Amino acid sequence: MQRLLGKTTLRLAPRTALRLAPRALHTSVRLAAAVPRLPAPAFSAPALMPDGSFKTVCLGDYLGKWVVLVTYPLDWTYVCPSELTAFSDRAKEFHDLGAEVLVMSTDSKESHLAWTLTPRTHGGVAKMAVPMLRYGVDLLA
């Protein structure tokens, strides 16, 4: 485990789905321990790339690399931006450790673009250094 963003970050094997099992860390804190079991399912999703272009991103694009997949419910919420921008601000550190960060929500790539064009002081996330993917029922099918 490594400490990034002030939280404990688990390093997971590429293309690995997880079964989470609770493990006592302290008497008042519980941490879900990652237990690799099965290969992660292949997927592709439309994405807003860090350069502002749109692209379809496939999990296979990251074979041989560690992937940190961050999911959040919706763009324009007031809780998520601080966490997402923290991952974005430290994307180079993840890259230097051999990991790529992807963030996903159910919003469209156009919504992601509008959110990145909005300054952080006005509820946006400004420029993101990581791809922002859209997922939905079609991704899980």
pLDDT tens, position by position, 106-120: 888 899 999 899 988
Query: Which residues, in sequence order, are bridge partners of residue 80?
Result: none
CA–CA separation, 97 and 132 (whole Å) = 20
* Domain CATH code at residue 117: 3.40.30.10
In a domain, 64, yes or no: yes
In a domain, 85, yes or no: yes
Give the predicted TM-score (pTM) of the model.
Answer: 0.69
- pLDDT-derived band at 74 (thresholds 50, 70, 90) equals confident
Q: Which residue has the higher pLDDT, 54 or 10?
A: 54
Total domains present in the chain: 1
Query: Is pLDDT at 77 greater than 50 in this prediction?
Result: yes
CA–CA separation, 107 and 70 (whole Å) = 14
In a domain, 15, yes or no: no
- pLDDT-derived band at 75 (thresholds 50, 70, 90) equals confident
- Pairing mode of beta strands 16-24, 30-39: antiparallel
Contacts of range 2-5, beta carbons closer than 8 Å, 24 or more positions apart: 2/97, 4/90, 4/93, 4/94, 5/83, 5/86, 5/87, 5/90
In a domain, 27, yes or no: no
Q: Which two tokens stand for residue 86?
A: 């923290």
Catalytic residues: 80
- Under 8 Å between Cβ of 109 and 47: yes
In a domain, 116, yes or no: yes
What pLDDT, on the 0 to 100 scale, is given for residue 38?
A: 66
In a domain, 112, yes or no: yes
What pLDDT, on the 0 to 100 scale, is given for residue 25?
A: 35
Q: Which domain holds residue 96?
A: 42-140
Computed over every residue of the chain, the mean pLDDT equals 76
CA–CA separation, 56 and 133 (whole Å) = 9
In a domain, 90, yes or no: yes
In a domain, 134, yes or no: yes
Nearest Cα neighbor of 129 from 86, 98, 96 is: 86
- pLDDT-derived band at 133 (thresholds 50, 70, 90) equals very high
Q: Convert the pLDDT of each residue in 8-50 to its tens digit.
A: 444 444 444 433 334 433 333 444 455 566 667 788 899 999 9
